[in-house]
Amino acid sequence: MLDPTKRAGIKLRAENCDVAYPPVVQSGGTFDLRVAAESDARPLHAGVVLLQLGCKYSLLCANACRTLFFNPDER
């Protein structure tokens, strides 16, 4: 993310790329969906894992959030 020149076809200036906030990884059924959320030291649990990542290019910020399912039950 901090060096876009490593990605083929992306023409962004590396000096304008930055992390908007530290990545957030949550699981175990307790989720904080705010952008200001923080990861904690608890180990990840099977089931639902939530991932959030924020990046900044110049004055533009973007947030990506993904939900992953690990060994879900039949429901």
pLDDT digits (tens, 9 = 90+) for 54-68: 888 888 888 888 998
Whole-angstrom distance, CA of residue 45 vs CA of residue 52: 17
Whole-angstrom distance, CA of residue 24 vs CA of residue 42: 12
25, 48 Cβ separation under 8 angstroms: no
8 vs 41 pLDDT, higher one = 41
- pTM (two decimals): 0.67
What pLDDT does residue 54 have? 86
